[in-house]
Amino acid sequence: DEIKKRMDHREKNFLSLTRKLIYENHSSPYRRLLQWAGCDYKDIEDSVKAKGLEQTLEILRDNGVYITLEEFKSKVPISRKGLTIETRQTDFENPFLMGGALQGSTSGSRSKSSPVKRNWNFIAEEAANEMILYKIHGMARAPLALWLPALPRMAGTHNLLMNVKYRRPPERWFSHTKTNSLRIPLIDRLALEYILWCCRHFGIEVPRPEFTDIRSAVTVAEWMEKTRKNKGPCVVRTYTSSAVRLVQAAIDHGIDISGNVILTGGEPLTEARCRFIESAGVKVFSRYSAAETGSIGASCDNLNGPDDMHVYVDRLAIIQRHRKTAIGEAEVNSFLFTSLSAHLGRVLLNAELGDFGKITIKPCDCLFGELGMNVHVSEVLSHDKLTCEGMTLVGFELDEIVGKMIANIGGGPDDYQFWETQDGGGLSKLVVAISPAIHNLDENDFIENLFEKLQSKSLGGHLMSQIWRQADTLQVVRAYPELTQGYKFLKIIKNPQKTLF
């Protein structure tokens, strides 16, 4: 009922939020952008009534009303012909977010990592979508485990609260990171304890996060096998790469995890990853989320590909913008998101989050389709972002760090390149290809120095470094970069001539 009501009032909700959060908020950068485009509230209202929401957003986009990833991160000012708007991250926050909000941050490495707020009303909205997902896959009452990090990363705590909302908390919470580290701010440690106490105070038994790094995937596999035998099929929510490691651990140790379900996110569920995970007899379904939006969509059973996902259009609108990548020449159809929820911590109006892919409109006979959620995304990848082991690093941030390191040893901007590679099981590696012409370089020292610089930037950088060290994610090869002008990122999915692992 809640979802259907939101679906029936999408356009009304958009107009209400546009008036309240943008036009009545004099500090909103969107307000200045709309004024520059000569668009007042009545223009938007008339367009939505005559042409619909998505077509109105496309008209706004074509008239310069959109926010690039670089602008949304406040890396560069919003710049259009005759207009320059200097912004801070707080300029995009929802000024009317009511109620106690859970606060975390995006996983960027810089000291300016973006704050993210989510209140209970927003979590309840997401939970309604996710309960539909469980019903579609026949797992509404199945035992559940999380293998996601706790605060200050949002993933684990956010998933915990979504499931608590409908009183189906996880039985186990495996965390990639330690919760008692002194590097974690006291406020985050106290927040976790408060959340756990509140749940138990209201009679909801919730598990305490157990440190389970990626080298301990067998622990999760053992839980799946034991639970399947004693209680029936179970569900694990985790990162896509962690799901690959879980299956590999089960194979290596002779653990039977067949008959269970894994819900993945954080990285694309490619054909190769899907085949490998399903080789263990489990079903795997893709979820799409972002720190700034929360849940974006998920897969039903009627798949046209492993990452064919319904978009939760009751809370978000999505269109595309053709653009060139920020630090390369690749042309992509970048996703632009618009928020339709008053409870989202960020205000989004045609805002890029760094992803691109395909958008299709098609009917579906699943519960999502019955509710009218017929917008699908697939082949979702990131432009100008790198994601490994569920940790995301914005490309221009990495380029800035490595560029300075290369300059310090006598190299130039064309003496290095980033390769994102995958092994046979779909595990990602981030490779820095450095020209052999640079002689004053020790590869191991270079990686260690890069980790130290990531760690020193922020707590998010520290957590990223911790997990990437566990996974041996960062590697250096001596090779001449395959550069076109300004092209710093090269996706290498299959490259038998170069043995990297």
CA distances from residue 389 to 107, 112, 299, 450, 474 in whole angstroms, order as listed: 12, 22, 21, 17, 11
Query: What is the spatial distance between Cα 402 and Cα 254, in angstroms, rounded to a whole number?
Result: 42
Single out the residue of 207, 290, 281, 276 nearest to residue 244, CA to CA: 276
Mean pLDDT of 214-230: 95
Q: What is the mean pLDDT of the chain?
A: 85
What phi and psi, each to the nearest 5 degrees, are found at residue 199?
Answer: -60, -45
DSSP β-ladder status, 294-298 and 115-119: unpaired
Query: What is the spatial distance between Cα 243 and Cα 258, in angstroms, rounded to a whole number?
Result: 13
- Tell me the pLDDT tens digit for each residue of 229-275: 999 999 999 998 899 889 999 999 999 999 999 999 988 888 888 98
Q: Residue 106 pLDDT > 70, yes or no?
A: no
Residue 105 is given by DSSP the state: E
Query: What is the spatial distance between Cα 65 and Cα 58, in angstroms, rounded to a whole number?
Result: 9
pLDDT at 107: 47
CA distances from residue 367 to 135, 157, 158, 305, 311 in whole angstroms, order as listed: 8, 27, 24, 19, 13
Confidence of residue 111 (pLDDT cuts 50, 70, 90): very low
Contacts of 387 (CB under 8 A, 6+ apart): 266, 267, 393, 428
Tell me the percentage of the chain whose pLDDT exceeds 70. 84
Confidence of residue 492 (pLDDT cuts 50, 70, 90): very low
Query: What is the spatial distance between Cα 450 and Cα 429, in angstroms, rounded to a whole number?
Result: 15
Task: List the single range of 35-39, 42-46, 117-121 with lowest mean pLDDT.
Answer: 117-121
Q: Residue 108 pLDDT > 50, yes or no?
A: no
Query: What is the spatial distance between Cα 30 and Cα 419, in angstroms, rounded to a whole number?
Result: 35
pLDDT at 396: 62
Q: Residue 67 pLDDT > 70, yes or no?
A: yes
pLDDT at 494: 35
| CA end-to-end span of the chain | 51
Q: For residue 18, with 0-12 CB atoms within 10 Å meaning exposed, 13-18 middle and 19 or more buried, which class applies?
A: buried
Query: What is the spatial distance between Cα 49 and Cα 45, in angstroms, rounded to a whole number?
Result: 6
pLDDT at 45: 97
3-state secondary structure of 103: strand
Query: What is the spatial distance between Cα 114 and Cα 461, in angstroms, rounded to a whole number?
Result: 12
Sole residue written with tokens 């996902």? 309
- Tell me the pLDDT tens digit for each residue of 379-422: 888 776 666 666 666 666 777 788 888 888 888 777 787 777 76
Query: What is the spatial distance between Cα 353 and Cα 268, in angstroms, rounded to a whole number?
Result: 15
In sequence order, the β-bridge partners of residue 164 are none
pLDDT at 491: 47
The residue ranking higher by pLDDT, 432 or 7, is: 7
Query: What is the spatial distance between Cα 424 and Cα 229, in angstroms, rounded to a whole number?
Result: 30
DSSP β-ladder status, 210-211 and 375-382: unpaired
* Helix spans in 202-343 (H): 217-231, 240-252, 271-278
Tokens of 420: 């994102």
Query: What is the spatial distance between Cα 52 and Cα 46, in angstroms, rounded to a whole number?
Result: 9
Sole residue written with tokens 């199945």? 142
Tokens of 367: 């519960």
Q: Residue 314 pLDDT > 50, yes or no?
A: yes
DSSP β-ladder status, 261-265 and 283-290: parallel
CB atoms within 10 A of CB 353: 22
Query: What is the spatial distance between Cα 311 and Cα 308, in angstroms, rounded to a whole number?
Result: 10
Query: What is the spatial distance between Cα 276 and Cα 278, in angstroms, rounded to a whole number?
Result: 6
pLDDT at 320: 97
* Helix spans in 37-184 (H): 41-51, 53-62, 69-72, 120-136, 154-165
Confidence of residue 373 (pLDDT cuts 50, 70, 90): very high
- Tell me if the bond preceding 185 is cis, omega within 30° of 0: no
Tokens of 44: 């938007």
385 neighbors 394 (Cβ within 8 angstroms): yes
The residue ranking higher by pLDDT, 66 or 102, is: 66
pLDDT at 110: 35
Q: Residue 496 pLDDT > 70, yes or no?
A: no
| HSE (side-chain half, CA atoms, 13 Å) at 469 | 16
Residue 168 is given by DSSP the state: -
373 neighbors 313 (Cβ within 8 angstroms): yes
Sole residue written with tokens 């020292």? 445
Confidence of residue 135 (pLDDT cuts 50, 70, 90): very high
Query: What is the spatial distance between Cα 477 and Cα 501, in angstroms, rounded to a whole number?
Result: 11
